[in-house]
Structure 1
């Protein structure tokens, strides 16, 4: 492929695709749609719906995402998985027999806790990259709860569930946003003085929100998250935690 366009599509609401994203999807010659396995068909269906809404005219081809090798250490597991995905992309494009721009619809924004850019870097020869930004889960979460992302002159730490489990609350942090947390890692924290704002399926018709003091809202989030995952077969969620004013300096 000579050109690869990574188009951010937001967090699940088709109306959140930007005008630039709509134009890119209309002009793409080939559009790749990942299939992520049984129970996650909604993720492919939503991408197809976005393409219909945008009036995309290019050829659409689905491909199966490989599974990570759970026997490998985490770092090696991810590296091998990315290599496999890049190989599948290249072969899928070759089999499609198209020479124009290739587009991938990226959930959220291609630059925030997403590996699409790193996978694209493995392609040989390297295509010309175009990145179309999308609405992130961070924006969708704070908008859904109608809260500011930061306090006055306050910093925000964006981290992962794995980092929170391994290292605890980031030193000196007042506000943290936690991404990619399938284990509700806030359970590992001392809840004293912590408020949480959580959301799943943000901006979608099935959106779920919870908020409150961590010691009260935490158990509700765990229960609602488990029920939603069981019902849908998948879940995308994130949360923001904030310490009461005056407490952040002690950590």
Structure 2
């Protein structure tokens, strides 16, 4: 599948601020940026650094006044559907060192607070079916409601309020998986057929020696996702972190398939 991505961000900075931007498609085994261009106005010098675990690319900059970032890309996605039902959960003692941090609680994913709930609600079964059951529970018990949460909302908050947006659904699934001893990390992505178009948050689960995508919202097909960043939670995958005051003027995201339907 070949996808064309167009992201346009406009902000007004009331004072000079440091900005960490991460909106470029990552190069990964199942997705290849063929042509991508990032143009930014209203900034000082750029400095590129690698994203978490070397996935994707962040850019440091100094911004003041009107800020405009425009990203365009064509990305080849070669991701075949995988059924994770029968994939085994790796015992904790056999996990490779690089995935162990994704077992731990984090700022937005208080996994330790869900251990009793997970043991009671999802007992037994050491296969991917357990993760799919968690995702199904989230869809059945949470309302997808834009504007119902904010940057302070954690997985526990969402569990109590039973409402949220994609990042909240992802935080809760990652928390439940970690509570069951399964490494889980968040991924930010561009998503084909997401309505309304926006940055999307999904989860990657470690099963049988590899990471597998799971979208607890089921709002977009997995084979139409283009990952930008991965991390422990929304702190690590934010498309834009502004260290100071800023006003959002306009933001548009477009993802279209250009090799047929």
Bin the TM-score by the shorter chain. Answer: under 0.3
The structure whose Rg is larger is 1
Specify which structure has the bigger relative contact order, considering alpha-carbon pairs within 8 angstroms and separated by 6 or more residues.
Answer: 2
Scaled by the length of structure 1, the TM-score of the pair is 0.24
Scaled by the length of structure 2, the TM-score of the pair is 0.23
Structure having the higher helix fraction is: 1
